[in-house]
Amino acid sequence: MKKALISGISGQDGAYLAQFLLEKGYEVYGTSRDAQMASFRNLHILGIKENTVLESMALNDFRSVLQTIMKVQPDEIYNLAGQSSVGLSFQQPVETLESISVGTLNILEAIRFLGKDIRFYNACSSECFGDTKGEPADEETPFRPRSPYAVAKAASFWEVANYREAYGLSACSGILFNHESPRRGETFVTRKVTKAAARIAAGLQNEVYLGNLEAKRDWGHAKDYVEAMWLMLQQDKPDDYVIATRETYSVRELCEYAFGCLNLDYKKYVQYNPRYERPAEVDLLIGDPTKAKTILGWKPNYTFKSLIQEMVMHDYTIALLESKGVSNKS
């Protein structure tokens, strides 16, 4: 039985990846800064908390990382932890840089120090590309990061490449474009929109405020993307891959479809607020996953519409319960 260690197991990707690996027969370990106090809500909701072993680990503390890896003795490590909001990174640039780049470096150095045959996956981001002038980004597209978050992710990418080339580590980065689900945090625009549409339809909310409605993103489902993470670590030769759908939709189109799922006209409820504009916006992000499709045999199973419909129906179910005075935290 293989052992997998997931840092950031409590998040959207971590929870879905844990579920996926358990179904593959893995022994799954997950970390949090304080595993005794963390709620691991997503693991509870997916019904897998009792099937995972949870450890305390501080990614910015090399000793903590080293001790955890020595204790678990994993075959694979998936690094999904760190500050994950582009918008928040402008307010917390130092914490963002440290939690992502230093955390990644500590894991790489621990693997090198131990000399173990551990396969390592690093969560990189399409935000590293910045403005690609409308062209689909692939593995050869230069990075032009436009946020502290993107800078931190770019640093982690080059750390992985350096340790792979200098020390022969079996390490790779997945350059993942936006991926969503009902487990997505409510500060992210997709979940903010689907939750607002659901609450408005249930009579619990009157409007929602958003920033740039014309920004376009390449949106996929988190379940598809965690499968790609696993596929990367099953390759004999470690390499980096872009994971995307090669389709883009604007935030305005997201609103139109999400509200339309509940027979609502988004124009009546969506209001613009400049406070949600970023200091440096990336207007369009689109990825070219040809390499992943060719080498990994990966392809997305969910369409944009099926993804958004799933999120809306999930949030609408919760909103209806709330409107009837029933508490529901899923």
Which residues participate in catalysis according to the annotation?
125, 127, 149
Task: Check residue 33 and report its DSSP letter.
Answer: T
Distance CA 266, CA 253 (A): 10
What stretches of 57-153 adopt beta strand conformation (E)?
A: 76-79, 119-125
Q: What is the DSSP string of 50-76?
A: GGEEEEE--TT-HHHHHHHHHHH--SE
Contact indicator for 61, 38 with CB cutoff of 8 Å: no
Sign of the Cα pseudo-torsion (228, 117, 100, 142, in order): negative
Helix (H, G, I), strand (E, B), or coil: what is residue 151? helix
Please count the other Cβ atoms lying within 10 Å of the Cβ belonging to residue 320.
17
Print the SS3 string covering 281-300. CCCECCECCHHHHHHHCCCC
Distance CA 102, CA 124 (A): 14
- Sequence-distant (≥ 6) Cβ neighbours of residue 47 within 8 angstroms: none
Considering only CA atoms, which of 28, 113, 98 is closest in space to residue 67?
113
